[in-house]
């Protein structure tokens, strides 16, 4: 048994050039799996969230990253030509309080709040 292990080890050492393409293929396959399983879905989710936050309008119900739930009262665009940026100031009403938050701190957007 020991002789067969030593013989197979000697064969692996004898042809290192055949192992290089296999290693390159293996690393490429691992990178492809990580890309399609982890990176690409996360990019899609981030783009969808950015689109949802940029299309925010008055009356929408939002949840901030800190967990505050409120209704959008006013949007002050700070970008050029009125384009929505993540630095825009949003005034929300939560209970009897009015808060000013940045657009980039919104974690979820619900539908329009029901009229009271």
pLDDT digits 0-9 by tens, 93-114: 999 999 999 988 999 998 765 5
- The C-alpha atoms of residue 1 and residue 30 are separated, in whole angstroms, by 33
Spatial separation of the C-alpha atoms in residues 61 and 90, rounded to whole Å: 12
Kindly tell me if the per-residue pLDDT of 27 is higher than 60: yes
Q: Is 77 in a helix, a strand, or coil?
A: coil
From 1.10.3470, 2.30.30, 2.40.30, 1.10.1060, which CATH number describes the 55-112 domain?
2.30.30
pLDDT category, 8, cuts 50, 70, 90?
low
The overall average pLDDT reported for the chain is: 84
pLDDT value of position 84:
74
Give the Cα separation of 77 and 86 in Å (integer): 9
More confident residue, 39 or 86: 39
What phi-psi label fits residue 88: left (phi over 0), alpha (psi between -120 and 50 degrees) or beta? beta
Stretch 46-57: mean pLDDT, rounded? 91
């Amino acid at each position: 048994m020991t002789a067969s292990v030593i013989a197979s080890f000697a064969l692996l050492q004898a042809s290192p050039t055949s192992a290089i393409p296999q290693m390159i293929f293996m690393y490429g396959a691992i990178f492809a799996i990580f890309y399609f399983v982890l990176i690409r879905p996360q990019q899609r989710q981030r783009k969808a969230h950015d689109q949802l936050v940029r299309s925010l309008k008055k009356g929408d119900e939002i949840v901030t990253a800190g967990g505050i739930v409120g209704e959008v009262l006013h949007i002050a665009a700070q970008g050029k030509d009125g384009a929505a940026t993540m630095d825009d100031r949003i005034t929300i009403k939560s209970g009897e309080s009015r808060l000013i938050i940045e657009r980039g701190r919104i974690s979820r957007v619900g539908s329009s709040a029901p009229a009271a």
